[in-house]
Structures are given as C-alpha cells and as structure tokens.
Amino acid sequence: MDFGLSTAQRERCDRILQEVGAHWAGRRPAGDPEQTRADFRTAGKLGLTGLCLPAGTGGGALGALDTALALEAFGRACPDTGLAFAVAAHLLACAVPVRDFASEEVRDELLRGLASGELVASNAMTEDGAGSDIGNIAVTAEPTGDGYLLNGEKSWASNAPIANLVVTYAVTDPRAGFLGQSAFAVPADLPGITLGEPLPKMGLAGCPAGRIRFENCHVPARYLLGEEGQGATIFQHSMAWERACLFGIYLGLMDRQLADCVRWAGERKQFGQPIGRFQAVSHRIAAMDQRLEAARLLLYRACWLLDQDEDDVSAVARSKVAVSEAAVANSLDALQLHGGLGYLAGGAEEQLRDTVPSTLFSGTTEIQRELIAKQLGL
C-alpha cells in the first residue's frame, strides 16, 4: 500500500489548479449555451476533456486514478461545479465507451474532437419509465439494411441542449431483455434527432440538461458501439468510470469548502473570540474533514482497482455513496457554520444545491447499496 502521489501526479494537479483558477476563478454559472461551448473548448486546451483518451487523439492517456486526481483539482479550482460535472460526464459517460467500443473508423472520426472539446457529448440513457430500472428502456433501434432506425425519447441527458454527439441506448431485440439492448454513438446533426431546451433544475446550473427525441432517426451501422446486445455491458462499463472518477470533482469541492470554513472560523468573532475556539464549531469542522478523507480513500481505491482491471462493482458503489453523502453533509455543515451569510445566494447554499444531485445521478444511493448487497450475496 502506497498512499503517496508521484512527482508527476503532484505536478499535473498543481498545473490544473493554476490553469483552471486563471480561467474560471470567481466564475458564476452562465446558463448560456454559447458560453458553455466556449468553456468546453477552453477545457480542451487545458487537457480536461481528453484526460483518459489516447495520446494519438490529443488525449492525456491517463488511467482511472490519474483522471480522478485531475478532476479533483478541476473541482477544487473551479467554483462552477456544474461546468466541471459537464466536462466529466462528457469524458467518462460518452468518450470512454467510444474509446473502448467504437470501430477504428468511428474512433478516428470522433475521439480527436471529443478530446479537444470541439465536440460536446451527451449520455442519453434515462427515460420517463426507466431511471434506476435501466432494463425497462423503451427507445427502439430497428435494424435496417445499412443501419438502425431509432424511435423514442430520453428524458434526462446532461449536455443535451449543446450536444454534437449523443451516446445512447436502445432496444434492438425486445425478446432478449438486457441482452436485447444496444449502444450507439449518434451524431446530433442526423435527421430525426431533436435536442430539447435546458431543463430547470436544482443545482449544477453550469451543466445544461434536456430531453432528446428520436423520430425515425436513421443511424448508420458504423455508429453501433460493440456488438448488438452489448448495450447493458457497455453502459455498466461507462458507469464504472463515471461513478469512480467523476466524483473526484466533489472531493475538490469539499477541499475548497473545508478551507473556506477553517478560514471563516478563524476570522468570524462572536462573544469576543473567533468562533473556531468554540467546540461546537471546531468539532463540526473536524467531522467535515473526517468525511472528506474517508471518502477520498474509497474513491482512490475504486479507481486503483479499475486500473488493475479488477471488476469490483461494490468498491465503486461504496465510493460513490461515500463521496456523494459526504458532499451533502459537509455542505449542510458549511451553510450552518456561515449562518445567515451561508443562506445568501452563492457560496455555501450554491454548494449545497450542487451536491444534492450527486446522490441521484450515475445511479441513486439506493441502487449503489443494492449493488453492494448483491456483492455480499444478499
């Protein structure tokens, strides 16, 4: 067991902290599609949209742990957690399955644009009747002579309103259950695709999310990921990367939040002394630190296992639950520590809104605990 970071890892994280801070320090969520596209191109220049993509495509060729460390630095330096989430979802839920399952032709077509941020990708799995129950998806992909005809609607897709590429999942064989689902990397400019307007939502304002409708959308066969019937396997593969690595941005948020709370407890005075001298305050901050460090260890271990090609579903699930629940609890504590100031727009209240959805996306906390229970034989 080696808990130290290498010189290369430390230097990479320091560079990201500096460069992200230079571009987005004091950044407020824009909610402007053109601004978000420009932010993706900036993230591409900083190497963030291609962290774990092959070097030959302009990516960083990083493993899971190094990707998570880079995203942690991104999340710490960028106050717009929604933007960090948008970039991480683009990379892990979309670019990773293209990297690992697309044909060589399609990888050559798409990966360079995904790595540079010129192409923005949206992951479209969730439907009105299929959230946690991904086996119940209703979007269909009817095989034709030279491709597939997609029909149906996805209800919740991050980056959808600005997407150039949609990684989606559809039923190719209704009789085969999970083995009848297939995955596709669909260019968003194909006829028959409608990208919805941004959905109003709580938190993560810097990441637009919307519905996606397919109406007799003809998708050439080359955009099939893997083989027919591999959709469920490909989705679980991408979710392992997302659940393990994406939550690095929340470690970064908690790092920034904790430092702010320590500073505030030393500056804010009540009853003639800094509030940090009151045990009620100092112990609350100590609990924040404990949650953060415990979550960090579980996330690093989950990513390390991915790098060892260990298929440990429960390790990833434990990490996802620990980080998301720590992020919500710490944000509640940060708001309480700042009192009325924490309730004002921005700062602690914004961090709370950005952390609440972390217990929902990439599989709810309840689904993660179900995965852990199944691994235990229950």
Helix (H) or strand (E) segment spanning residue 151 = strand 147-158
DSSP string, 112-148: HHHHHTSS-EEEE--BTTBSS-GGG---EEEEETTEE
Please count the CA atoms within 13 angstroms of the CA of 189 that sit on its side-chain side.
Answer: 3
205, containing H or E segment: none
The dihedral through the CA atoms of 123, 129, 133, 138 has a sign that is: negative
Judge whether 33 and 208 are in contact, CB under 8 Å: yes
242 carries an active-site annotation: yes
> Distance (Å, rounded) from C-alpha 141 to C-alpha 131?
19
Q: Please, what is the end-to-end C-alpha distance for the chain in angstroms?
A: 30
Q: What is d(CA 206, CA 357) in angstroms, rounded to the nearest whole number?
A: 13
Cα–Cα distance for residue pair 99/318, rounded to 1 Å: 26
Catalytic residue among 72, 228, 242, 350: 242
Only one residue has tokens 């972390």, namely: 358
Please classify residue 197 by burial: count the beta carbons closer than 10 Å to its beta carbon, then call 0-12 exposed, 13-18 middle and 19+ buried: exposed
Which of 210, 235, 208 has its CA nearest to residue 155?
210
List active site positions: 242
